[in-house]
Structure 1
């Protein structure tokens, strides 16, 4: 018969070196035992890069990504079973203990010093009600991804609606099916989100879907970054929207708009630019654009698209924007900061930095010469 070792009763100066020698998964397991254990494990400063949560079926999947390329995965089942794995190589434990699935999430967030969820994915599942206690405690979510695309999901009696009412107010970005209820999409467009992406999850093409979203829906958006899939807006509607932007009669927060219209857009340049006084400029693949605090490439190397034409338009108040057209029929609209100098929103390349440094160096040397 063995006697349990009173680990947490050790003096602090003895306990901490012991915890430091523990394996990574042993620390995680220890942190879930009690608040006292969690307090000591937290002092080890095991910081993570980010955490993702996925709700699917009767399971909550938690994935914790660390700087050392380690990945911790927890499959927490509503029936009370939880199993933990590290980098998918082996399972550490299967716990049917008294803790509910939600009781594992926040202790791990605490010991990894993570205050927000990077992605919360809502898959096509039922029984969301059991996760309400967990979701209600989340203070910040970077992005909510709604993969549940059934017509019932967006009906008033759907459990998904209760979940969205809780998570959207604390979210910065939303990715949702383009075939969601139009009234619901309108509410999301008007929300104070940083980014909204409509996505065609299953590759379906619905007849006359472009009629489901009107020009007024686009005009009333309040987001900084908006991405729309194929068949949502035609070229003539986009031209009318750009004219509203020129007159300052639409979303003034907009920084980036991306609309996929179809390959035929290249032969409809005139209807797209009609009345905008657009100026065609040389295509530069090295340009970058700052959107939502992140640096975006004008033409990503990961994309198979090729930019075919690029135009600048300028409002009466001096605000400028760039319209780019790809061979895939994608129209990208970049709004520059209120300063008319575009370089405030572009990353300086090495040559421009060298020239500036050279001028500063020459000025400094001239001052030294004067003192001599």
Structure 2
């Protein structure tokens, strides 16, 4: 029976007005009706900077809209046992739309279309209608159910720029294979648990090029690894034990002998573990000038050390001898942690923000 109100038969000018008034969930419903309706949503010029795709037995796409936080693609029946062998990523059975950041405020609605798009088609569709060129992948427990080649194929064409490997659930071969499948990417966030030595980490990770490495370094000698990281932004996120090796690294940077492309470096230390002379230990023998005016700096990727600061303790300017490049060493505090930050400026003006 024909619909009493055939929306898609309205004049184009009216459809544009209707599309603009829809909520995010309804915009997605509407965009899946036809190429024409998808184009109406695309022309609204709604821009999403980044999608986060969490891969488990379901795949959840976090959107970050006020009225729609995420869309989960349900692939397998809830009562179906976990497969003994990986299977190709099947067509989704349904979408589950979730609103509310907090679980107590969350509402969920499950919907199935007559012709469900594949994961690849749906991700490409979202990227197109919301003008998103950055997709982050977060593999979770359950992702091992699917073959890696079909997972990779599903994300082709939607701009995977970030891999978040911060949840390690004991499956080392799968973890390593995920890295092999999706690297290189622009931004890598990584738990070092699967790697037992610096040599393994170099072989598996540092052979690739990144703009950003956010490393949960718990067992590796990260001071030694720094010299192998020709990376713009390096965030060492767990608290470390202060070593004279950090002073040696800064000396080598000043001489122009290492990390010439570095734009920022972060270390964190527990304040209770530091002596009263920790700044002198780090700056020993390095020409510096005390800075009193803080300059604005925006890193490529904002991690917790960049986003949360209680107070700035002290700042010092240093210069690289080979080209006169200026850098600021900043010590700041958040909660019970002291952070060391090295910021390399691209210009001598006082704006300070690095342009990427």
TM-score bin, normalised by smaller chain: 0.7 to 0.9
Q: Is the 8 A contact 2:59 2:72 kept in 1?
A: yes
Does residue 1:319 correspond to 2:338, yes or no? no
Which secondary structure state, in structure 1, belongs to the residue aligned with residue 122 of structure 2? helix
User: Residue by residue, what CA displacement relative to the aligned partner does 1:199-249 show, whole Å, maximum 9, x if unpaired?
Assistant: 37xxxxx6xx3xx22544211211111111346563211011111112211
Distance 1:270 1:76, change over 3 A: same
Q: Is the 8 A contact 1:230 1:262 kept in 2?
A: no
Distance 1:20 1:228, change over 3 A: closer
Q: Name the structure 2 match of 1:131.
A: 151
Q: Name the structure 2 match of 1:250.
A: 258
Structure 2: distance between partners of 1:151 and 1:191: 24
Q: Name the structure 2 match of 1:345.
A: 352
Distance 1:165 1:309, change over 3 A: same
The RMSD of aligned alpha carbons is 3.5
Q: Name the structure 2 match of 1:29.
A: 29
Which secondary structure state, in structure 2, belongs to the residue aligned with residue 47 of structure 1? coil
Does residue 1:77 correspond to 2:74, yes or no? yes
Structure 2: distance between partners of 1:214 and 1:11: 62
How many residue pairs match? The answer is 320
Does residue 1:146 correspond to 2:165, yes or no? yes
User: Residue by residue, what CA displacement relative to the aligned partner does 1:17-44 show, whole Å, maximum 9, x if unpaired?
Assistant: 565565653332132244454344434x
Does residue 1:277 correspond to 2:287, yes or no? yes
Q: Is the 8 A contact 2:165 2:189 kept in 1?
A: yes
Structure 2: distance between partners of 1:231 and 1:21: 48
TM-score (norm 2): 0.74
Q: Is the 8 A contact 1:260 1:329 kept in 2?
A: yes
Structure 1 segments of 4+ aligned residues over 6 angstroms from their partners: none
- 1:295, distance to aligned residue in structure 2 (A): 9.8
Does residue 1:268 correspond to 2:288, yes or no? no
- Structure 1 unaligned spans of 5+: 201-205, 348-372
Distance 1:319 1:46, change over 3 A: closer
TM-score (norm 1): 0.71
- 1:86, distance to aligned residue in structure 2 (A): 5.8
Q: Which residue, 131, 134, 138 being the options, matches 1:116?
A: 134
Does residue 1:334 correspond to 2:343, yes or no? yes
Q: Which residue, 179, 191, 194 being the options, matches 2:208?
A: 191
Q: Name the structure 1 match of 2:225.
A: 217
